[in-house]
Amino acid sequence: MKKIVSMFLAACAVSAMSVTAFAQQAQAINVTSDEAIKLSFGEEKFSELLLPGQTYTYPLYIEQEDGTLAPLSDEHLKDVKLRAETKNGKSVISSFKVEEENDQYQLEVTTKAGWPTEQSEVEGAVRAVKRSNGQVVSSVEAELTVGYPTISDEALEAVKADEYIFVESNAPVISTEQFQKLDEYADGSKVTFTNGMWTYEVRVSGQEAVNMLHNERAIKEVSSKFEDQNFKYVSFPGGPAFDFTGKMTIDVSDEMEDFDGKFYVYRYLRGALERIDATVDLEDESISFETKNLGRFVITDKEIADGTIVDESFTQAPAEETEKPAEEEKPAEEKPVEETPAGSVSDNNDYQSNGSNKGNPDTGAKDFAALAAAAAVVSAAAGIALQNKKR
C-alpha cells in the first residue's frame, strides 16, 4: 500500500511541475516578436508628377528573408498596425492614407484640386507600429511632386522666328523666368500663344507665371438652361491674368453653318453670363475680343440678356451655403456597425485591420491547472491518511 501511495504522490508532484512549464509555453506562443518587418514600395520610384485633383495608389510590399517581395496583407499585420503621415506639402494633399483592396494594402494619395503655377514637394511615410507599445518597427518613405508640367524652353524659341507658341494642355504652365526669356526674344513686342483653335496675342513684359490649362468642355449649367441654342465653349479654368490687354481670337469655322453666321460671346463667371463685345469676321470665320483675363468663354447663336444668372447657388448668402441638414452632422461613432469596412483608418491615419482586438488563443492551460490542483489536494489528503495509519 505504501508503494501505491508513494507512486501516486510522485505522479501528483510531476503534474504540479508540468503546470508551470505548460503555462510558460502558452505565454511564449503569444509574445510579440521584436524582429522588424521590412516595408517596401517595390520598384516604385515616385518619378511621376501628380496632377491636382487626382487620386494615385501605390501598392505596399513586405521584404522577405530571401530578399523577395510579397504583397502586404493581413497575415503580416497580426502584431503591427500601419500609419500613414506627411512631413510637408500638406497644403496640396487632400488625403494620404493606407487602404486595403483585393486583400492587399496600398498607399492612396489624393491631391487637392486647383491650377497652381508651381510644383510642390511632398514628403510622406508609411510606418508599421507595434500594437503592444506603439514602437515603430519599419518605415518606408514616399517623396512626391504635385503640380502641372511647365512648357518646354524649346517651344518658347518659336518667338525668335516670329511664330506662335503652341500651348498644350499637358504642359500648360509658363513660369516667370520663361516670360522674361519670351520678352527678350520678342524685344518687348507682343507674343502669340495658340492651341490651333484659338490664339492670344499679348505683351509679356514683367509678366508673372500663369497656368494656361484649357479645354472645350461644355458648361452643363448653361447648356441645360438654354436647350434650344447652339453653344461653343473655350475655357481656361485656371483664370490666367495678364498685365497687358491682349487679343483673343477663336476659330468658328466649324460653327458657321449651325450658327447661321450669328455669334454672341459671354464670360461665365460666378454663375452668371457677362456679355463681351466681340468682333465677328465672317471671311476669316473667327471671332475676336480684347481681355486681360482668360476664363470660361461661351459662344452661342442667340442673344442672352447680359448678367443672366445661370447657377443661383453663387447668389445665396454665406449662412445658407454653409448650413447643413442635421443628419449630415451625425458623429461617426453613431454609424451602424454593418457599414464598417474591412479595415478602418483612425484620426491619426493608423490603419487597423479587423480582428485586431482578438484575445489570445485558448491553449487549455487553465483546464490543466485545475486538474493538477485537484490532484494536489488528493495527494495531501492521502499523505495525512498515511500518517494517521502509522500512528
Q: Domain boundaries in the chain? A: 39-147+349-353, 153-315
Domain over 39-147+349-353 is classified CATH 2.60.40: yes
Pairing relationship of beta strands 191-194 and 165-166 according to DSSP bridges: parallel
Tell me how crowded residue 174 is: count the other CB atoms within 10 A of its CB.
26
**In b/e form, how buried is each residue of 77-95, taking b as 16+ CB within 10 angstroms?**
bebbbbbbbbeebeebbee
Topology adopted by domain 153-315: Chondroitinase Ac; Chain A, domain 3 (2.60.220)
Q: Taking CA 102 as the corner, what is the angle to CA 97 and CA 104, rounded to the nearest 5 degrees?
A: 55
Q: What is the maximum alpha-carbon separation in the chain?
A: 135
Task: Please state, in angstroms and rounded to a whole number, the distance separating the CA atoms of residues 112 and 115.
Answer: 10
Enclosing H/E stretch for 138: strand 136-146
| Per-residue pLDDT reduced to its tens digit, 111-163 | 999 999 999 999 999 999 999 999 999 999 999 999 999 999 999 999 999 99
Higher confidence at residue 13 or residue 73? 73
| Per-residue pLDDT reduced to its tens digit, 237-271 | 999 999 999 999 999 999 999 999 999 999 999 99
Q: 3-state DSSP call for residue 15?
A: helix
Of the pLDDT bands very low, low, confident and very high (cuts 50, 70, 90), residue 387 is very low
Q: Are 172 and 212 in contact (CB under 8 A)?
A: yes
Of the pLDDT bands very low, low, confident and very high (cuts 50, 70, 90), residue 365 is very low
Q: Quick one: pLDDT at residue 218?
A: 97
pTM (predicted TM-score)? 0.70
Taking phi over 0 as left and psi of -120 to 50 as alpha, with beta for the rest, 71 belongs to beta
